[in-house]
Structure 1
């Protein structure tokens, strides 16, 4: 973090009616070197439905808690300047959002490659986009440690494999299935092979392929393999062994799909974890660890529970019912039904670990941004930076006061973000920007910047996502 940041502090306080900065209110002075404390989550007073069980699962043990790291920790770009890292991150983010929207709209990015179509050159993941958060997993027997991207918007679990006809650069040696005693190829007539969205057959073995909206892909054979999470071993996990891969995931060996489909890691575990997992994303620009937890132990008592919504066109994605936005404790006046998930699968709000910056459709973003800008009119403005059009020059300040930013969810819960989750440094000069952007479609995405440092739990089996009750 740049030296000047030791001087700049952000204070979050609500604004009173009329939009004037409140006076006589206790202030909390926080250093932006650290995650800004004070995330508040106000439950609606409702309890989860009767089928929400708190019964401990005997198959789930404390060892299922894993460390999460931000991708910058294990890539060389971690040593470049703050602005350079931001530009790289936004470039990756734009590609990610394009891919998600193309998958939902059925555009050209949704075209699948044939199993015999193995062209294209290896490209840098920095140019194509990359997952933001990595977890360390042992693959095979004996386990070979591998960094893998966690992705709440994908289902397939896969790693790059030898012999590798086309592989991007990764931090660990490429996995060699010939050195694993537990590796077993999946036959073409297997029920597991039949669950793949795009499968083929060669020499009696099931072939898989997954392509992404920007043309990146992984292609190879499907296999059963053992994965090791700390001291916990999970056998017979169906994974893709990718022999030809093109970059989204530079640095990582592959991807741990945590989506809502049956082939995701969570879906394959089924009753062993009750379809539940929780995560806390480490704050960017630090070398601290986040966490990823599987099983009922990830379901904290006291969380604010929000119903998940199901989109049959996109079963991998976790949709939540967002009903409104707040600035300074007051709801922003927004066009009606702009967050609604339609019967045809359009619109809606997706929570995604792989997207950094939260996107809203233009009419929503414009009203949201203008309200925040009006409430911070006393702060000196700076020029736009990348996709951020609302920026401030805070180089001459030791502390500033900013209004709260809140998400209003269906059922009543309100999530109020800490300041570092919506006003972020973008260079070493003291420029901070409002960390939201406009979407070119009617899809809204809650990105990982807004999720950082907040305890998030997903109960896919019962259809809920929980926030809090703790920060992490």
Structure 2
């Protein structure tokens, strides 16, 4: 995980005091030049104590493999970017919308009672030898029969997704250095709104949360705590995504901070003459 080290910076805090100038002779600061009406500002500097809460993040020196994945589609034609994820043994492929605001990755399942027609066939759990639904426990929301863990997501555009939480082997494609891994995902049983009508199969949630694919891989110590997105452009589409850290170029130069050296902080008090 990323470790933080302290670096103290010179910071300017602005306090604005508005003063109405009734006549040039009563001005406590600067008079407008040549008797004009232009505004003048005087900015004296005052030293303040350092803020110990300011710090700079440094990358974890420990290296892990990462998952390099291609991006497809574009915002102009589709309204989203997708990637490809393979689930199960043998793997079944799905086109998933890359969503940094979602925390669950889910695909429509063959048991779905209300799912639209998408670009790939529904996930068939019975064909995967490694599929395992999560049993109801104290750490999850359970179905009405108290048998399986379930999820339910509502979105701002009034679409929704709900289904069973399950664990299976996830594969990230031929470009990935990360080998297939077991992870929890959503086996969708119902979808509404845009999720029902969209061409993409489902969602790949990259947000923070226990069900996030990224957080699951980080928690197992498989990747560094980061991910990267490189979009091909509004009118071009495509791009690339990396789950985990990226090794910097060999000729990259880094600036080292001095944790011993201490800087003060400067406060700027601003007076505006109107």
TM-score grouping bracket, smaller chain normalisation: 0.5 to 0.7
Q: Decide whether aligned partners of structure 1 residues 177 and 303 sit closer, same or farther in structure 2, where only a CA change above 3 A counts.
A: farther
Structure label with greater radius of gyration: 2
Contact 2:74–2:235 (8 Å) recurs in 1: no
Q: Which one has more relative contact order, counting CA pairs under 8 Å at least 6 apart?
A: 2
SS where residue 296 of structure 1 aligns?
Answer: coil
Contact 2:60–2:224 (8 Å) recurs in 1: no
Matched, 1:201 2:140: no
SS where residue 209 of structure 1 aligns?
Answer: strand
Alignment-derived partner of residue 56 in structure 1:
63
Alignment-derived partner of residue 285 in structure 1:
235
Alignment-derived partner of residue 234 in structure 1:
180
Q: Decide whether aligned partners of structure 1 residues 299 and 164 sit closer, same or farther in structure 2, where only a CA change above 3 A counts.
A: farther
Deviation at 1:272, TM superposition (A): 1.7
Q: Decide whether aligned partners of structure 1 residues 170 and 260 sit closer, same or farther in structure 2, where only a CA change above 3 A counts.
A: same
Deviation at 1:299, TM superposition (A): 6.5
Alignment-derived partner of residue 258 in structure 1:
206
Number of matched residues? 191
State the Cα deviation string for residues 299-323 of structure 1 (Å, max 9, x = none). Answer: 675799xxxxxxxxxxxxxxxxxxx
Alignment-derived partner of residue 225 in structure 2:
275
From 194, 209, 224, the counterpart of 2:167: 224
Matched, 1:68 2:71: yes
SS where residue 70 of structure 1 aligns?
Answer: coil
Identify, as 1 or 2, the structure richer in strand: 2
Contact 1:54–1:296 (8 Å) recurs in 2: no
Post-superposition, which runs of at least 4 consecutive aligned residues in structure 1 deviate over 6 A?
Answer: none
In the alignment, structure 2 segments of 5+ residues that lack a partner are: 1-54, 256-274
State the Cα deviation string for residues 145-191 of structure 1 (Å, max 9, x = none). Answer: 11001111111111111122111221111111111111101011164
Identify, as 1 or 2, the structure richer in helix: 1
Please give the residue correspondences for 1:58-137 in structure 2 after superposition, counting only pairs within 5 Å. 60-61=65-66, 64-71=67-74, 132-137=80-85
Contact 1:210–1:219 (8 Å) recurs in 2: yes
Deviation at 1:284, TM superposition (A): 2.6
State the Cα deviation string for residues 228-275 of structure 1 (Å, max 9, x = none). Answer: 101444333111100111243411111110112232111111132121
TM-score by length of 2: 0.63
* Aligned-partner Cα distance in 2 for 1:298–1:150: 23
State the Cα deviation string for residues 413-447 of structure 1 (Å, max 9, x = none). Answer: xxxxxxxxxxxxxxxxxxxxxxxxxxxxxxxxxxx
